[in-house]
Structure 1
Amino acid sequence: MKKKLFLVSALSLSLALAACNGSDDKENGGTDATEGLETNIVTIATGGASGPYNIIGTTLADQYVKEFDVNSRTQTTGASVENINLLEQGKAEMAFVMSDALSQAINGEVSFNEPIKNVSQIATLYPNVVQIITKEGSGINTIEDLKGKRIAVGDQNSGVEINARVLLNGHGITYEDVKVDYLGYAEAADGLKAGTIDAAFLTSGLPNASVMELAETTGIQLVSVNAEKVAEIAKEHPYFISYDIAVDTYKNEEAITTAAVPNALVVRTDMSEDDVYDLTKQFFESLPTLQNSHQAANDITLDAAQESVVAPIHPGAQRYYDEQAK
């Protein structure tokens, strides 16, 4: 009997010590495997399978799974407009979007019949560069040369299509002046190869995998957009900036001037402050891993994350930024 009592006492003491140690770990900033997010699912709406949104987003989802033990995955979509609608409908928790589509959503313009309310910003990301691609020898050198041509403008209502339409309109070209095909990155590249289209808008971070493959297999050239014209368009659409695609990005022998639009990482406004704080913190702590997944993420920095913000910053993200500023 004494031996049994001793064993019970020893076991009780061990459990008590373990509980104390666990409490100490938490107080000292240690991790607790039972702690996590309030939500069990973090779906990240991205874009086409070969685009930077999806590549970076998939890597980020993996980080959330490892850190929080939640069901986190990406959803390939038609990109910005669809992504914002998915947030509004509660069908995704986070999304990568372009600032032009986000601006229109907040204001209830163009593709949005009324202002979208259930979307808040976490961060401004890397610039999405408007890459207008054509075959060598096509005679298409500037955006003005697209008039009368068959062009791919991205998936319908995607961020690519929105800025393609704005840039064309800014140069006096409407959809009635061109033959429009609504094609994503991979389909547009296939169309150029097959000769079924004359040019394509592929707006993304640099480099775009579909354009890289096209540069390897087909003679291509980049179509330029005049910087002064971009500045003029930016008076009405302030999210546009002028941008130079560097030499040899796609075997190009000279830098090509075009336009760019900053990307944004957004979340549902109705997500809890604590969850968004944790998701934001892990996002920035995962930057080295995200940068290894796609070089476009090299342009994401904590310092620039609050610049050119379009939507209201979520309180959880703001709490993280306030902590970093101390």
Structure 2
Amino acid sequence: MKRFLRFYGAPMVIVVLGLVVAFLFMAPAPPKRVTIAGGASGGAYAATAENYARALRDEGVAVDVQTTNGSVDNLNRVKSRQADIAIVQTGLAADVGSNGAQSLGAVFYEPLWVFARAGRTAEQLQDLAGLRVAIGPEGSGVRVLASLLLSEVGVTEDRYTAVPLAGQAAAEALQRGEIDAAMVVSGPTTAWIAALIADRNVQLMSMREAHALARRHPYLDEVPLYRGVIDLAAI
């Protein structure tokens, strides 16, 4: 035994130490299956999730994309381990808590648009008091953001009628006159955003509070939109 330990003891210790170091410090192998919490069908989050899913499948990873109610629902699914990855609105974790979920980075700018029926005063968020305003359904990030910003300017929930519509459904309701205003989140290339801008019965609010809100909330950015950038014919 002494002869065995003399010749093989040191190499065995080195091997054991190497295994311990590898176990403690080496990154685990990538998973072979992941679940992504996307968003509502036809929305920007769902499309982004599908783009990532295709890229992962090309690398041999099986991907399941979940249809959800939006950012809050997505974050809750990650926190409860119903999903591995989620597309979530920036700043949401600061408002509702992350519970161990970690951000991998920002993906794209997501503008908050405020549209109102033409003929109404719509120069600041306070002008939405007393109106029927689409702020998104429960479980959506836009509802959390819209409620926060409205409350900050003194337009509390009892001072307007919250309508649980988002995206294209909110846009169409506004065009039909079923609501007075809509706070929606979507990219500038979305077809229904362009349709609202081109609609003479609808106006886009240029928020006076934008600069102050961006200073108060680091996850918000003030982004200028110059006339004609989206549709010169709509000027």
Moved more, 122-131 or 246-255: 246-255
| Contact 1:140-1:223 within 8 A present in 2 as well | yes
Q: SS in structure 1 opposite 2:115?
A: strand
Counterpart selection for 1:116 from 85, 91, 99? 99
Name the aligned partner's letter for residue 91 of structure 2: D
Residue 151 of structure 1 is matched in structure 2 by 133
Q: TM-score, normalised by structure 1?
A: 0.57
Q: SS in structure 2 opposite 1:187?
A: helix
| Cα distance, 1:52 vs structure 2 | 2.0
Counterpart selection for 2:210 from 216, 230, 243? 230
| Cα distance, 1:130 vs structure 2 | 0.9
| Percentage of identical aligned residues | 27
Residue 110 of structure 1 is matched in structure 2 by none
Counterpart selection for 2:67 from 73, 76, 84? 76
Residue 22 of structure 2 is matched in structure 1 by none
Residue 3 of structure 2 is matched in structure 1 by none
| Cα distance, 1:38 vs structure 2 | 4.5
| Cα distance, 1:104 vs structure 2 | 2.3
Residue 79 of structure 2 is matched in structure 1 by 88
Residue 161 of structure 1 is matched in structure 2 by 143
Report which of the two has the higher share of strand: 1
| Contact 2:136-2:142 within 8 A present in 1 as well | yes
Name the aligned partner's letter for residue 86 of structure 1: R
- Note the aligned Cα RMSD (angstroms): 2.6
Distance 1:120 1:137 in 2: 45
* 1:234-268 superposed Cα distances (whole Å, 9 cap, x missing partner): 4543222212123335437899xxxxxxxxxxxxx
Q: Residues 210 and 42 from structure 1, CA distance in 2 versus in 1: closer, same or farther, beyond 3 angstroms?
A: farther
* 1:5-29 superposed Cα distances (whole Å, 9 cap, x missing partner): xxxxxxxxxxxxxxxxxxxxxxxxx
Residue 43 of structure 2 is matched in structure 1 by 51
Counterpart selection for 2:168 from 179, 182, 186? 186
* 1:175-207 superposed Cα distances (whole Å, 9 cap, x missing partner): 111111111212212211221111111113323
Moved more, 51-60 or 138-147: 138-147
Residue 243 of structure 1 is matched in structure 2 by 223
Is 1:209 paired with 2:191? yes
| Cα distance, 1:103 vs structure 2 | 1.7
Name the aligned partner's letter for residue 126 of structure 2: E
